[in-house]
Amino acid sequence: MLFSLPSLTLLASISLLHSSPALADDNPLCNGHAELCSRKYSNITFIGAHDSPFVGDSPADNQDLSITDQLDTGIRYLQAQTHVNAFKILSLCHTNCFLNDAGSLTSYLKTIKTWLDKNPTEIVSLLLTNGDRLDPAKFDTAFKAAELDGYAYVPPADAPLALDKWPTLGDMIAAKTRLVVFLDYGAKPDVPYILDQFAYYFETPFDTTDPAFNQCAIDRPPNASPDGRMYVLNHYLDKELLGGIFDDVLIPDRDAAPTTNGEESIRAQVGLCEGLYHRKPNVVLLDFVDKRVGDVQARLNGL
């Protein structure tokens, strides 16, 4: 049988459509699991990196791995503190920029963009603190400079979303909105992709020094109802600096991390919270995420 040139062109186009994994995939993955493609964002538990940019071996550092390495090991939720440094640059600073300045927010966001570009079926969430109570336009400037603002999910105009109104991971990937951004203070509707953390979440107490983690109270926002909110479980352990010589100075307990990040410890606190709120936490924040034992994230999601 002979084909005309237009027919051959059409056949070639059809062949390309069926052979391109970006356009047609019989086994799509979302955050590494096909089962998560039909799961709503609000119905997933993420293991998150607390103070993700503060990497090193100083007493104030919270992580051992670079941002790229954290993402490569399966972390999909990054938390970071921000302040304006002495050079008037919005930076990743631990408590203040004299103590620990991990570089500009723009540089951090560029690293995340590079990773997302290499991993087109992954969704990453970012929780930023606004220590200086800046206008969200300052954060928007950093996202635009990193060319990452176009990756961010924007909820409908009637936000905040109810728990059952969030899209599925598959929908978010298809829409190319693979970044979800939250800000603890100062979010405004004029920067619609930077979402108000406490409109969407409540969180449990932080700066915990009790390794039993035998509490799951609502710490922020004060007097909040759990109804309609996702929630963050702060599961990282602190200790007093030099055994308490410096009053009220707490540092991450690096030595305890393998136990704190073990499945037994995490599941015990998750179970306590689940008993109170009748659902699992949406985020479990850890220090030293490289020291977690086993794939507790997958098991918390029934995978």
Contact call for residues 178 and 127 (beta carbons, < 8 A): no
**Active-site position among 83, 94, 235, 278:** 94
CA distance 65 to 154: 30
**Active-site position among 33, 50, 83, 235:** 50
Output the DSSP codes for 173-241.
Answer: HHTT--EEEEESS---TTSTTEEEHHHHEEE---SB--TT-------BSTT---TT-EEEEE--BEEEG
In degrees and rounded to multiples of 5, residue 136 shows phi and psi of -60, -15
Q: Which residues pair with 92 in a beta bridge?
A: 82
Q: Which residues pair with 104 in a beta bridge?
A: 91
Q: Is 94 labeled as catalytic in the residue annotation?
A: yes
Contact call for residues 68 and 115 (beta carbons, < 8 A): yes
Q: Is 50 labeled as catalytic in the residue annotation?
A: yes
CA distance 100 to 105: 14
**Among all residues, which ones are annotated catalytic?**
50, 94
